[in-house]
Structure 1
Amino acid sequence: MGLTSNSLLVLAVAFAVVLFAATLWLWPRLARRSWAALGGRIGLLLATQLALICSLGVAANQSFGFYAGWDDLLGRETAQGVIVDQSATTPGAGGPLQVVNIKAPPGDAGSRASAVGQVQKVDIVGRLSHIATPAYVYLPPEYFQPRFRTRTFPVSVVLTGYPGTAQALVTKLKYPTVARGLAKDGRAQPMILVMLRPTVAPPRDTECVDIPQGPQTETFFAKDLPEAVLAHYRAGGRPRSWGIIGDSTGGYCSLKLAMRHPDVYAAGAGLSAYYTAPIDPTTGDLFHGNRSLRDHADLHWLLAHEPAPDTSLLVTSSKVGEHNYRDTLRLVNEVRATGRTRISSIILESGGHNFNTWRREVPPALQWLSGQLSDR
């Protein structure tokens, strides 16, 4: 039974209800003054509380997509991807990307790819970083239509927060559905979406940093990922063809990658992002005492000490509910002072650090990102 399955949620809730009813039924019988009765009351209370906590945990995981499965939750997700030479009859085949599953976008089962697009689950292995990670790739309907058979498409890399699951980008934030709707209304161009989490070396939170003697996460996103996608899909190969967007940790990574690699990403959007890589139990020692690495992971420091990058940024926050509001205003002013880097913002009156807030920001953010990109 999967960690995100509805069956598990129903079972957890039912078990909690049964324990609660059993507590009410048995409590009068355990009212005697004896060690056995006392132990029974303690056991029932603990079991009921644990069942309630488990039910809430399963429900929260389904809503926010923290963990994709039991192995992910328990830190056992360590299997490496496999490099497969795809059939020569597949356009763009070959390279370190393997398609392992193909589906229609959520809610469009049975529809033709030329009408609704396609979501492919893939495994990607970095040639330089040797990082292996799963991802989801959305191909727009136009990708399968004969009149666009020779066209390349702009690419938007989409990142979750930490820990997050790539699947939540498809099912919870509904990026493919939003992208198709915007293109259908003429508010955005058809784009390839590459959806994954920044935690490409789970369970460690690497903050998209090349860690000394550790995971080379920045190299993966700046070099390996574009190389793998370009080798397999009809994706635009120029910097103006690539953008990146994410929430929370993924937002920080998106902004940093756009600033540090403007030759790869023409634009970066950070939803509820922070602007300096944290050091905590989930990250471990990211910099190994290297002050230069630490400084270059601080977006404020980059704007003050490095040449302003020729890229476009989008930041979001809310006046009530987000902790990054003042820091976001500070970053906007710092970027504007460069005179070269471009920045836009979405500031909500209120909204917490959660999916509900990001669902309000994803449509305008994707529309903005589309406007920064070109497939030629």
Structure 2
Amino acid sequence: MGLTSRKVLALAVLLAALLFFATIWLWPRLSRRTSRAVFGRVGLLFATQLAVFAAVGLAANHSFLFYGSWADLFGRQQDLGAVMDHSTVGRQLKIVEKQRSPVPGGSRPMAGGQIQKVVVGGRKSGIDSTAFVYLPPEYFRPEYARKTFPASVVLTGYPGTAENLITGLRYPKTAWELSRQGRMQPMILVMLRPTVVPPRDTECVDVPGGPQTETFFAKDLPSAVSGAYRVGVAPRNWGFIGNSTGGYCALKIALHHPDRFSAAAGLSAYYKAAVDPTTGDLFRGNRDLRNRADLMWSLDHLPQGASSLLVTSSRKGEGNLKATRKFIDKVKAPAKVSSIILDSGGHNFNTWRREVSPVLEWMGGRLRPN
């Protein structure tokens, strides 16, 4: 059983509970001052604490996906990454691998859809990045063969991994369920992390003399996907979703490029580009670029397009509530703004899982196929 298996977690919790009750039950028998009784007490305490620690650690890893396997946890995953040449000459997107969708019937694309691992080549930005594309079941059905689909880019936070969007936040499974229930139209999801030039956190900024990350997300990515899949190129065909750093990127790209994206959702987003050791110097002293990376400044000084924006926070547990309310107040027509404000929820996967379903339903109601 794998490290992230629910069975492993359940067994660890059960073992911790059994050892706890065994300690209570056996403690009177081990109350003597003999060496055997002393070693018995020490052994029970050590075993119980170790089991509790393991259960808590497995629960935390199950929620946040710090390690993907036992080998990864114990440092035995030492094999070096192999460089694969994914030449994008003449094409902007190359399919590397096809995976089953994590839903019932997921091995059959017409029933569960399909996840494709791709490499996107940025012609304008010069950035190549891996992404995962979720294609809904309808994409493979004959009656939809001549129809286009709306698409949403979905970003993790920093540093994050794109796989977390599939296994941790369950975007494909949630989209499949909502579509089956008639609560959302079939939609393609393009899932990746904002760190397209790892390990640097570029905050989706076009860095002077450096990575042109905003250009990659705003121009190269939708162009590549529309060229490879049945997705339109109009703003009404495209949305942008992200959490944390990805949420900041989603809102910024939609605000700056309403000609590309008609809707964006920022889950626990912040509203100004971070500058720290992970980002380096993003602006090279250019005040205009620094101001442009501040979403509050952008709302005050740049024309607001007709994009629909969604922001999320919580009254207790999130640090962005005040800024989120300020952002909402600054959005003016023709732009539109909506919000999800939870009573309680921290900056974590558990909170975002509670928001993914309503966010996808909201997004599905604002995008249109051609």
- TM-score for both structures, normalised by structure 2: 0.80
Q: Which residue of the partner structure matches residue 296 of structure 1?
A: 292
Return the offset for 1:65.
3.7
Aligned match of 1:331 in 327, 330, 337? 327
The superposition leaves residues 151-174 of structure 1 with CA deviations (integer Å, 9 ceiling, x where unpaired) of: 010001000000111001011111
Q: 1:110 to 1:352 in 2, by over 3 A?
A: closer
Q: Which residue of the partner structure matches residue 344 of structure 2?
A: 350
Kindly indicate whether residue 366 of structure 2 is the aligned counterpart of residue 372 of structure 1.
yes
The superposition leaves residues 105-159 of structure 1 with CA deviations (integer Å, 9 ceiling, x where unpaired) of: 1144663211110011111121111211111100000000000000010001000
Question: Contact 2:270 / 2:320 at 8 angstroms: preserved in 1?
Answer: yes
Kindly indicate whether residue 274 of structure 2 is the aligned counterpart of residue 270 of structure 1.
no
Aligned match of 1:104 in 78, 95, 100? 100
Distance in 2 between residues matched to 1:78 and 1:58, nearest whole Å: 29
Q: What SS class does the counterpart of residue 227 from structure 1 fall into?
A: helix
Aligned match of 1:82 in 83, 86, 92? 86
Q: 1:55 to 1:183 in 2, by over 3 A?
A: closer
Return the offset for 1:177.
0.8
Aligned match of 1:259 in 255, 258, 282? 255
Q: Which residue of the partner structure matches residue 150 of structure 1?
A: 146
Q: What SS class does the counterpart of residue 372 from structure 1 fall into?
A: coil
Which residues in structure 2 correspond to 1:136-215 (within 5 Å)? 136-215=132-211
The superposition leaves residues 259-302 of structure 1 with CA deviations (integer Å, 9 ceiling, x where unpaired) of: 00011100000000000001111111111111000000000001
Aligned match of 1:245 in 230, 241, 244? 241
Q: What SS class does the counterpart of residue 205 from structure 2 fall into?
A: coil
Distance in 1 between residues matched to 2:260 and 2:137, nearest whole Å: 25
Q: 1:256 to 1:78 in 2, by over 3 A?
A: farther
Q: Identity of counterpart residues, as a percentage?
A: 56
Q: 1:307 to 1:131 in 2, by over 3 A?
A: same
Distance in 1 between residues matched to 2:59 and 2:195, nearest whole Å: 22
Q: 1:102 to 1:346 in 2, by over 3 A?
A: same
Q: Which residue of the partner structure matches residue 47 of structure 1?
A: none
Q: Unpaired runs of 5+ in structure 1?
A: 18-27, 29-51, 86-93
Moved more, 230-239 or 313-322: 230-239
Question: Contact 1:243 / 1:369 at 8 angstroms: preserved in 2?
Answer: yes
Return the offset for 1:327.
0.6
Q: Which residue of the partner structure matches residue 124 of structure 1?
A: 120
Return the offset for 1:83.
2.3
Distance in 2 between residues matched to 1:83 and 1:154, nearest whole Å: 27
The superposition leaves residues 231-283 of structure 1 with CA deviations (integer Å, 9 ceiling, x where unpaired) of: 11111221100000010000000000000001110000000000000111111
One-letter identity of the residue aligned with 2:363: L
Return the offset for 1:58.
7.9
Kindly indicate whether residue 227 of structure 2 is the aligned counterpart of residue 231 of structure 1.
yes
Which residues in structure 2 correspond to 1:10-29 (within 5 Å)? none
Return the offset for 1:374.
0.4
Question: Contact 2:4 / 2:68 at 8 angstroms: preserved in 1?
Answer: no
Distance in 1 between residues matched to 2:321 and 2:304, nearest whole Å: 23
Aligned match of 1:363 in 354, 357, 360? 357
Q: 1:172 to 1:5 in 2, by over 3 A?
A: closer
Question: Contact 1:321 / 1:351 at 8 angstroms: preserved in 2?
Answer: yes
Q: 1:57 to 1:296 in 2, by over 3 A?
A: farther
Distance in 1 between residues matched to 2:364 and 2:103, nearest whole Å: 24
Distance in 2 between residues matched to 1:118 and 1:320, nearest whole Å: 38
Aligned match of 1:341 in 335, 343, 355? 335
**Cα root mean square deviation, aligned:** 3.1
Distance in 2 between residues matched to 1:128 and 1:187, nearest whole Å: 37
Distance in 2 between residues matched to 1:54 and 1:214, nearest whole Å: 43
Distance in 1 between residues matched to 2:322 and 2:4, nearest whole Å: 39
Q: 1:239 to 1:109 in 2, by over 3 A?
A: same
One-letter identity of the residue aligned with 1:64: F
Kindly indicate whether residue 63 of structure 2 is the aligned counterpart of residue 63 of structure 1.
yes
Aligned match of 1:308 in 304, 320, 326? 304
Question: Contact 1:229 / 1:235 at 8 angstroms: preserved in 2?
Answer: yes
Q: Unpaired runs of 5+ in structure 2?
A: 17-34, 36-51
Return the offset for 1:102.
1.0
Q: What SS class does the counterpart of residue 350 from structure 1 fall into?
A: coil
Question: Contact 2:155 / 2:241 at 8 angstroms: preserved in 1?
Answer: yes
Aligned residue pairs total: 328
Question: Contact 2:134 / 2:172 at 8 angstroms: preserved in 1?
Answer: yes
- TM-score for both structures, normalised by structure 1: 0.79
Question: Contact 2:4 / 2:61 at 8 angstroms: preserved in 1?
Answer: no
Aligned match of 2:212 in 216, 235, 243? 216
Distance in 1 between residues matched to 2:238 and 2:59, nearest whole Å: 35
